[in-house]
Chains A and B, each alone.
Chain A
Amino acid sequence: MDIHRQVKYEEELDKTFLEEIKVLSGAEDLDRCIQCGTCSSSCPMSIYMDSPPRKIIAQVKNGFKEEALRSFTIWLCSSCYTCQVRCPAKIEITEVMYALKRKAIEEKVYPQKFPIPVLDKEMTNLIKNYGRNSELWLILRLYLKSRNPIGLLKMAPLGLKLMKTGRMSLKREAIKERKQLKDLLKFLKEAT
């Protein structure tokens, strides 16, 4: 077994990253983290993460930009806010995770076929275009865009059950004032 030394020297760290994430997340107290680990021990997803939340916060705080943005962790966060309400330093950890997701997308360092960001994107697109989410359409687009036709087939028995109980609609939902919604998003884009 090879052991690789993974060290980053001062000059390799991104010293602006902390401030940037503070602004993006609104978590102004981010650098007050005392590394107590309450977040990691509270997180129900911790065991599936490559870096538990405490490590992510340490990475952000110390300028390990690549490590934080390329982590699996940020996509696994399901926004349950347990870490956030328990944090003794009152850091908005969930908002930090959101900010990291947005930053990773902006810098195109996110796993593009990985189902979680695909779902986020597809749902956002449905809402942008129609004002409403349509569950079946979302699921179809999710499996299509994450290139997982076998996954879709495996869902067939569940789909059947939902159909039988009248819980699956084939209709594409939309609001009446689609123009208003589009205007709203357009005006906001112009202002930023």
Chain B
Amino acid sequence: MRDYVYYPGCSLKGNSKHYEESILPVFKELGFPLEELEDWNCCGATAYFSIDDLMATAICGRNLSLAEKRQRNIMAPCAGCYLTLKKANKVLRENSEKARKINQALEKAGCPYHGGIEVKHPLEVLIEDIGLDLIKDKVRYKLKGLKVACYYGCQLVRPFTDFDDPDYPTSLDQLMETIGAQPVPYSAKTRCCGGSLTGTIEEVGKRLNFILLKEAKRRGADVIVTLCPLCQFNLEIFQDKMAKDYGEDVTMPILYFSQLMGLAFGLAKEDLGFNRSIIDLKPLWPKLTNGGIV
């Protein structure tokens, strides 16, 4: 496996600290300790591309350059960062006027990029580079009886990647099976959570997430497993309002796949960021710990 540098992005240093807190020890346990990309800048997400796509691509180019200097690929746990950096990488490698302009500016600013970096999401690294066999070897406690709805969201599986299906991906389901959990069929698994709409037009954002939660509940899931900080946040924050507004209780914990992996690996639950859940996890704990030793 070619080494990766870890690109946290704003969320993993902000509202999704528990994603960072769980992904770092899990990769360490697997024998691939992650180092943070020094002085990384924000990816710009969908916002910058709505304002100026040349500039948006350029600031991503700086991150790619920083990683290239260290001869490492980038691992981005946030699906938004992942898509944005991947999109910029594609543009900068093209033989186009746009790419030439941006690459020249990058060089002039002292951060040249030569197109030598790949951008990957941890799920991709786990499945393709590390492999489910090694992960299976690390499992000490199978999460038996835990029913999970695997939620991929939009920007990991579309449109710049071919590591999984854009409509009905299965890699996260396989990963969850490997640690002993039981994925439920979840038809909404790539339906968009609305991204920043929860902050801008709450009515729309709330409704979109209600649909996702309702479907998970209907399928009998105990928990929704996520791989993107914005999805995790959006699914969590309006649950109390939903019961009031839509007359239906869809309360359900929203956890990161890395938190469940850490638990299965036998890492201390206090070190995996479970204390940061807005939703009460007490009813879930018996299910999280009832698995036997492998």
Other-chain contact of A45, B53, B62, B199, B204 (Cβ < 8 Å) = B204
Other-chain contact of A133, B10, B159, B190 (Cβ < 8 Å) = B10
* Contact digits for B47-73, partner A, Cβ 8 Å, 1 yes 0 no: 111111111001100100000000000
Whether a CB of chain A sits under 8 angstroms from the CB of B218 is: no
Query: Is there contact, CB below 8 Å, between B48 and A188?
Result: no
Query: Is there contact, CB below 8 Å, between B51 and A168?
Result: no
Task: Tell me, in angstroms, the Cα distance from A132 to B63 when the chains sit together.
Answer: 12
Query: Given A180-B109, A187-B108, A188-B55 in contact, is the A168-B192 Cβ separation under 8 Å?
Result: no
Task: Tell me, in angstroms, the Cα distance from A101 to B48 when the chains sit together.
Answer: 11
Residues from chain B with a CB closer than 8 A to the CB of A139 are 199
| A interface, size bucket | 35 or more
Whether a CB of chain A sits under 8 angstroms from the CB of B111 is: yes
Q: A93 → chain B, closest Cβ, in Å?
A: 10
Query: Is there contact, CB below 8 Å, between B104 and A191?
Result: yes
B contacts with A, residue count (CB < 8 A): 60
Other-chain contact of A184, B46, B109, B199, B204 (Cβ < 8 Å) = B109
Query: Is there contact, CB below 8 Å, between B154 and A81?
Result: yes
Q: Which chain B residues (9-52) contact chain A, with CB distance < 8 Å?
A: 10-11, 13-18, 39-42, 44-52
Query: Is there contact, CB below 8 Å, between B109 and A162?
Result: no
Whether a CB of chain A sits under 8 angstroms from the CB of B194 is: yes
* Contact digits for B178-201, partner A, Cβ 8 Å, 1 yes 0 no: 000000000000111011110111
Query: Is there contact, CB below 8 Å, between B101 and A85?
Result: no
Residues from chain B with a CB closer than 8 A to the CB of A120 are 46-48, 50-51
Residues from chain A with a CB closer than 8 A to the CB of B102 are 188
Whether a CB of chain B sits under 8 angstroms from the CB of A175 is: yes
Whether a CB of chain A sits under 8 angstroms from the CB of B158 is: yes
Other-chain contact of A173, B13, B54, B108, B110 (Cβ < 8 Å) = B13
Other-chain contact of B154, A80, A102, A115, A189 (Cβ < 8 Å) = A80
Query: Is there contact, CB below 8 Å, between B15 and A44?
Result: no
Task: Tell me, in angstroms, the Cα distance from A18 to B7 when the chains sit together.
Answer: 38
Query: Is there contact, CB below 8 Å, between B40 and A175?
Result: yes
Whether a CB of chain A sits under 8 angstroms from the CB of B266 is: no
Residues from chain A with a CB closer than 8 A to the CB of B50 are 98, 101-102, 105, 117, 120
Secondary structure type dominating chain A contacts: helix
Residues from chain A with a CB closer than 8 A to the CB of B11 are 135
Q: Which of B115-123, B129-137, B253-261, B271-279 contacts A (4 or more CB under 8 A)?
A: B271-279
Query: Is there contact, CB below 8 Å, between B276 and A76?
Result: no
Greatest chain A CB density within 10 A among B17, B106, B196 is at B196
Q: B225 → chain A, closest Cβ, in Å?
A: 19
Whether a CB of chain B sits under 8 angstroms from the CB of A84 is: yes
Task: Tell me, in angstroms, the Cα distance from A173 to B191 when the chains sit together.
Answer: 32
Whether a CB of chain B sits under 8 angstroms from the CB of A4 is: no
14 contacts between A and B (CB under 8 A): A78-B194, A80-B154, A115-B199, A115-B201, A116-B201, A119-B199, A132-B10, A158-B237, A161-B278, A162-B15, A165-B275, A165-B276, A176-B39, A188-B105
Residues of A at the B interface (CB closer than 8 Å) are 44-45, 48, 76, 78-82, 84-86, 94, 98, 101-102, 105, 115-117, 119-121, 123-124, 126-128, 131-135, 139, 142, 151, 158, 161-162, 165-169, 173, 175-177, 180-181, 183-185, 187-189, 191-192
